[in-house]
Amino acid sequence: MPDKLKVQINGKEISIAEGTSVAAAILNDNVAALRRSVDGNPRGPVCGMGICYECRVTINGVTHQRSCMIACSDGMEIHTDA
């Protein structure tokens, strides 16, 4: 699938295929930790289906978005919290 969308992950622009979730886009960019736990430990996606809330990131300024449940859209600004 040709890369059609451009998103920013922590300020860095990347191209990705349509239909890619935010979580997959971040992991593909070699970032494994998407957030820090209450004790400050790095965490990444676990369940892949919106149950565990471990993949939360900030999307277009809105915090605590489940990145596994949201598809990338052109121009999206994504910030991890790790």
Partner 1 sequence: MPDTASFDVLVIGAGPAGLAAALAATTAGTSIGIVDENGTPGGQIYRASGGSPHPKVRGQIEELECKDVNVMGNTTIIDAPEPGVVLGLTGSSVRRIGYKKLILATGARELFIPFPGWTLPNVMGVGGLQALVKAGLDVRGKQIVVAGSGPLLIAVGAYLKDHGAKIVTVAEQASWASLARFLLHLCPLPQKAMQGATLAAQVGASYRPGTWVEKAEGKDKLESVKLNKFNVMIPCDYLACAYGFAPNIELPMLLGCDIEGGCVKVDELQRTSVPNVFCAGEPTGIGGLELSTVEGLIAGFTATDWSRAAKGLSKDRQKWQSFAQTLDRTFELRDEIKVLAKPETIVCRCEDVKLEQLSECDSAKSAKIHTRCGMGPCQGRICGSATRFLFGWEHGTVRPPLVPTPLSGLEIKD
- Residues lying near partner 1 in the complex (CB under 8 A) are found at 1, 16-21, 23-25, 27-28, 32-34, 37-39, 41-54, 56, 64, 68-69, 71
Distance of closest approach, residue 25 Cβ to partner 1, in angstroms: 7
Distance of closest approach, residue 3 Cβ to partner 1, in angstroms: 11
Q: What is the Cα–Cα distance from 26 to 75, expressed in whole angstroms?
A: 15
Q: Which amino acid is at 71?
A: A
Distance of closest approach, residue 54 Cβ to partner 1, in angstroms: 6
The token pair that represents 47 in the structure block: 């369940």
Place of tokens 């239909």: 19
Q: What is the Cα–Cα distance from 27 to 8, expressed in whole angstroms?
A: 13
> Which among 31, 42, 36, 38 has a CA at the least distance from the CA of 9?
31
By beta-carbon proximity to partner 1, the closer residue of 11 and 30 is: 30
By beta-carbon proximity to partner 1, the closer residue of 6 and 51 is: 51
By beta-carbon proximity to partner 1, the closer residue of 50 and 75 is: 50
